[in-house]
Structure 1
Amino acid sequence: MMNDKRFVLLSDEDNVLVCCGKVAAGEKVIVEQQEVEMATEITVGHKIARTPLEVGEKIIKYGAPIGSTVKPVGFAEHVHIHNMKSDYMASYTRQAKVGE
């Protein structure tokens, strides 16, 4: 079984695949050599889980953590703001201007 070419693995370490072509809810696709019916529409640039993810698990994209889950995420399920949060922390501090 060939994986659906609309889902791209950016790095071998990633636990998400990135969508590069719209996939309709209810459409059957091959992901990680398994046929799955998509529960929701997935649009370009959005992510799906490459494996089931537990609460608090890091989301890895480009081989780097981009956030963590706030709910369990099933295999091939949409990964977005409804089930993940950003772990971004600013690495700079704002310097006060004269008169502030």
Structure 2
Amino acid sequence: MSRNKFILVNQADNVLICCQPASSGEVALIDDKKYTLSTAIDVGHKIARTDLNSLEKVIRYGVPIGSATTDIKAGEHVHMHNMKSDYIPSHTRQAKAGE
């Protein structure tokens, strides 16, 4: 079980940070609940601590770092494929108008 592979940096965070590589199929313990990872997670990447609704703020370090672009279930990988930066337009995989 991936008990120590994910850390909560700030109690207000709705994501956990990966501090050791985690493989697809591993079980992560989040707030005393078990979640099976559907993808491998690299160090520094995030998984959802709670279910996140589309457009909901992603909170890391106690501050919003962006918004979910789709619904994200607890335990799922949170990255540029399902969130966007609210501050830096280049930090998203969403196509810009005219591209």
Q: TM bucket by the smaller chain?
A: 0.7 to 0.9
Q: Calculate the aligned-residue CA RMSD, in Å.
A: 1.8
Summarize deviations over 1:36-69 as a string: whole Å, max 9, x none.
2110001100000000000000000000010000
Larger Rg: 1
Identity percentage of aligned residues? 48
Partner of 2:78: 79
Partner of 1:52: 51
What amino acid maps onto 2:59 in structure 1?
A: I
Change in Cα spacing, 1:13 to 1:32, as seen in structure 2 (3 Å) is: same
How far residue 29 of structure 1 moved from its aligned partner, in angstroms, is 2.5
CA distance in 1, matches of 2:2, 2:42: 17
Partner of 2:3: 4
What amino acid maps onto 2:54 in structure 1?
A: V
Secondary structure of 1:35's match?
Answer: strand
Runs of 4+ in 1 over 6 A off after TM superposition: none
Partner of 2:65: 66
CA distance in 2, matches of 1:6, 1:81: 21
TM-score after normalising by structure 2:
0.84
TM-score after normalising by structure 1:
0.83
Partner of 1:93: none
How far residue 3 of structure 1 moved from its aligned partner, in angstroms, is 7.3
Listed as ranges, the gaps of 5+ residues in structure 2 are 89-99
CA distance in 2, matches of 1:61, 1:15: 7
